[in-house]
Structure 1
Amino acid sequence: MADSIQFEIEGVNALAEKLQGLPQDMRKKGGRFALRKAANLVRERVKDSARRLDDPETANNIADNVVVRWDGKHFRQTGDLKFRVGVLGGAKSRQKNQQNPGGDTYYWRFLEFGTENMRAQPFLRPALAESINAATQEFVTQYDKALNRAIKRAAKQTGGN
């Protein structure tokens, strides 16, 4: 059951050239900023999809529990930047006194993946597939802006123009 998502990134060559003159910490900081902006686009698409599935008669709201989280463990292990888009509560079993803004939405997994008694109504995976091109372009645009700011700051610190 491997789904395939294909996309094309344009503008990466220009970014790569700008990266050559910057220290590693400036590259990572700008990349993290740009990656968060791209992940936020995906989050908004997931929220829109989740709103269509939420029952308005209940206090629980999956869309309110969709979040973007920095994956620090992955960064420490690999050095790669990574944000996760998901639903609060994750794959944990139903817990009492859970403090999520949208209430206890443990059942999102049943909607996304289905059960033996109900068909899947995915909202996470299709939202990613629909927004991957826009998110990629947002990353390239935001990273380019961040790199330009970093280059200007570096030039000021060295006394250049």
Structure 2
Amino acid sequence: MAENRFSGLDQALKNMKDLPVKIRRSAGRKAVGKGAAILRRRAKENALRIDDKDTGRRIADNVGQRYRSKESRRTGDVIISVGVLTKRGRIPRGNPDEGPKGNTPHWHLKELGTSKVRAEPFIRPAGEGSVDEVLNAVAAELDKQVTNEVKKLGV
């Protein structure tokens, strides 16, 4: 496993201890959101390469990020997931092409492959190839948010 080096986090964590929990959570959510945005952008770029040009819908249009409030409340951690957003429920018969921003329930078949089709991963490489960039962005944003909150409180 590669060693990840990033700076700015030590001072931010030290300053965070002086802040109320509500402000800590807000600063953390903004910082993790910045990192998730980098992953989302990379996953969209990768998905554009594998999307079928003959159909109206694209997997890249449905790549997004979500704040996981239930898990965050349960664990106390800031959790933001990046993935392909699809409609819930049954896939309509014939899987009709709904055009731009249409549902793409087949995305996991492209990502993981099947016994008959080779995998064309686009989300995993986005995460694996940008670990340092994401961690640096999170550290920088966290330091910025915490510094601003400390200044506001006059601590």
| Residue ranges of structure 1 left out of the alignment (5+ in a row) | none
Whole-Å separation in 2 of the counterparts to 1:146 and 1:7: 22
Higher RCO (C-alpha 8 Å, min separation 6):
2
Whole-Å separation in 1 of the counterparts to 2:44 and 2:63: 6
| Residue ranges of structure 2 left out of the alignment (5+ in a row) | none
4+ residue segments displaced more than 6 Å: 96-100
Correspondence for 1:89:
86
Deviations 1:98-142 (A, max 9, x none): 989621211111000001111111110011011111111100001
Whole-Å separation in 1 of the counterparts to 2:100 and 2:3: 34
Q: Secondary structure at the match of 2:11?
A: helix
Aligned-pair CA distance for 1:30? 0.4
Correspondence for 2:128:
129
How many positions carry a matched residue from both structures?
A: 153
Aligned-pair CA distance for 1:44? 0.1
**Out of 18, 26, 30, which is 1:29 matched to?**
26
Whole-Å separation in 2 of the counterparts to 1:84 and 1:100: 25
**Out of 37, 41, 45, which is 2:38 matched to?**
41
Amino acid at match of 1:80: D
Correspondence for 1:143:
142
Structure 1 residues 101, 40: CA separation in 2 closer, same or farther (over 3 Å shift)? farther
Q: Tell me whether 7-16 or 111-120 shows the greater mean CA deviation.
A: 7-16
Confirm whether residue 56 of structure 1 aligns to residue 53 of structure 2: yes
Are the equivalent residues in 2 in contact too, given 1:112–1:124 (CA < 8 A)? yes
Q: Taking structure 1 as the reference length, what is the TM-score of the superposition?
A: 0.85
Are the equivalent residues in 2 in contact too, given 1:37–1:142 (CA < 8 A)? yes
Identity %: 33
Whole-Å separation in 2 of the counterparts to 1:126 and 1:149: 34
Confirm whether residue 153 of structure 1 aligns to residue 140 of structure 2: no
Q: Taking structure 2 as the reference length, what is the TM-score of the superposition?
A: 0.88
Are the equivalent residues in 1 in contact too, given 2:57–2:99 (CA < 8 A)? no
